Amino acid sequence: MARNKIALIGSGMIGGTLAHLAGLKELGDIVLFDIADGIPQGKGLDISQSSPVEGFDVNLTGASDYSAIEGADVCIVTAGVARKPGMSRDDLLGINLKVMEQVGAGIKKYAPNAFVICITNPLDAMVWALQKFSGLPANKVVGMAGVLDSSRFRLFLAKEFNVSVQDVTAFVLGGHGDTMVPLARYSTVGGIPLTDLVTMGWVTKERLEEIIQRTRDGGAEIVGLLKTGSAYYAPAASAIEMAESYLKDKKRVLPCAAHLSGQYGVKDMYVGVPTVIGAGGVERIIEIDLNKTEKEAFDKSVGAVAGLCEACINIAPALK
Ligand code: PYR
């Protein structure tokens, strides 16, 4: 049986980490792609040289020509620039939109049957543009943000309550930006919703609000510390969880930036919502009940994403 093929489009810090994780998990053969000739080849060889020590068998190659991604089962896109201190994700829109046009054309030509996971920021607008540029079905193109934001929320909650991260579940919905919507009512410790934990005296409303705000600022906190770029370990781990669910048809319930065609009252936009990811790509979008406050926050976030999509259309009218 042939191994799966995973194309990593962009070989920066997230791309390299993705290659390492995909290798360690033996998800398939890996092609690292980057227009910066030498970087994907060097990283590919370096990670390959760790495989005898770690004991994984995959072919890991680097390339600077899109033909190398031919027939990929999964493409994970990190190409583009990352933000630096003082920048918002939205500041990257102009430059990364041009990158998405190139990447979309490459995927359309060489990997039209792939499941595509976009990580490039500003995420919700970039995955929306990438789907249009590539022409792939909307259920096969998805954005990685909700798993990452929820993972940050889970970590902060686990530390607060001094419990295992394994026993904390969380949902962060909406756009991957300052308006993201961590949902306390749908986040739990051992199945107990956070709202009940407030009633039980585990945490005050005020402290919970601080944790929620730290989650919203999670990416910026890392940018501020690193000073030269943005997070890569947690974004890579999050995308690998999504790729694994697709490749193994696990049907994980994961919050992802998915194409909405009327769900949550939103049409032709990508926004973070709970999804089921299996061999069919995004197999289901789960429409959870939102109370008035949650719906207002979600709608505000959708409004912010809509503004970014408008900005994309102003630059590339063909996206309309
Ligand atoms: C983040 O760290 O949140 C990114 O968007 C990379």
Q: Which atom of ligand 1 is nearest to the CA of 89?
A: 5
Asked if pLDDT for residue 152 goes beyond 90, the answer is yes
Q: What is the mean pLDDT of residues 274-280?
A: 98
pLDDT of the residue at 134: 98
Contact status, residue 3 vs residue 28, Cβ threshold 8 Å: yes
Mapped to the 3 state alphabet, what secondary structure does the chain carry?
CCCCEEEEECCCHHHHHHHHHHHHCCCCEEEEECCCCCHHHHHHHHHHHHHHHHCCCCCEEEECCHHHHCCCCEEEECCCCCCCCCCCHHHHHHHHHHHHHHHHHHHHHHCCCCEEEECCCCHHHHHHHHHHHHCCCHHHEEECCHHHHHHHHHHHHHHHHCCCHHHEEEEEEECCCCCCEEEEEEEEECCEEHHHHHHCCCCCHHHHHHHHHHHHCHHHHHHHHHCCCCCCHHHHHHHHHHHHHHHCCCCEEEEEEEEEECHHHCEEEEEEEEEEEECCEEEEECCCCCCHHHHHHHHHHHHHHHHHHHHHHHHCHHHC
CA of 194 to the centre of ligand 1 (A): 25
In whole numbers, what is the pLDDT of the chain averaged over residues?
Answer: 97
pLDDT of the residue at 84: 87
pLDDT of the residue at 177: 93
pLDDT of the residue at 179: 95
Contact status, residue 27 vs residue 93, Cβ threshold 8 Å: no
* Most informative mutation of 230, 232, 238, 308 for ligand 1 (most atoms within 8 A of CB): 230
Asked if pLDDT for residue 1 goes beyond 90, the answer is no
Asked if pLDDT for residue 32 goes beyond 90, the answer is yes
Length of the chain: 320
pLDDT in tens, 52-63: 999 999 999 999
Domain 144-312 has CATH 3.90.110.10: yes
Distance of alpha carbon 247 from alpha carbon 310, whole angstroms: 34
Distance of alpha carbon 243 from alpha carbon 275, whole angstroms: 13
Q: What is the mean pLDDT of residues 247-261?
A: 98
pLDDT of the residue at 184: 96
CA of 209 to the centre of ligand 1 (A): 21
pLDDT in tens, 155-188: 999 999 999 999 999 999 999 999 999 999 999 9
Structure tokens at 282: 């995004």
Model confidence at 114, pLDDT cuts 50, 70, 90, reads very high
CA of 230 to the centre of ligand 1 (A): 6
Structure tokens at 190: 């051992």
Q: Which atom of ligand 1 is nearest to the CA of 222?
A: 2
Q: What percent of the chain has pLDDT over 70?
A: 100
CA of 229 to the centre of ligand 1 (A): 10
Q: Which atom of ligand 1 is nearest to the CA of 218?
A: 3
Model confidence at 275, pLDDT cuts 50, 70, 90, reads very high
Residue nearest to atom 2 of ligand 1 (CA): 219
Residue nearest to atom 3 of ligand 1 (CA): 219
Q: Which atom of ligand 1 is nearest to the CA of 121?
A: 5
pLDDT of the residue at 269: 98
Model confidence at 4, pLDDT cuts 50, 70, 90, reads very high
Identify which of 164, 114, 157 has the alpha carbon closest to the alpha carbon of residue 139.
Answer: 114
Q: What is the mean pLDDT of residues 132-137?
A: 98
Identify which of 243, 305, 240, 250 has the alpha carbon closest to the alpha carbon of residue 276.
Answer: 250
Residue nearest to atom 4 of ligand 1 (CA): 219
Q: What is the mean pLDDT of residues 280-308?
A: 97
Q: What are the domain boundaries of the chain? A: 3-142, 144-312
Give 84 or 49, the one with higher predicted confidence.
Answer: 49
Q: Name all residues whose Cβ lies below 6 A of ligand 1.
A: 89, 121, 148, 219, 222, 230-231, 235
Q: pTM of the prediction?
A: 0.97
Catalytic residues: 176
Distance of CA 191 to the CA centre of its chain: 25
Domain 3-142 has CATH 3.40.50.720: yes
Q: What is the mean pLDDT of residues 111-136?
A: 98
Q: What is the mean pLDDT of residues 86-110?
A: 95
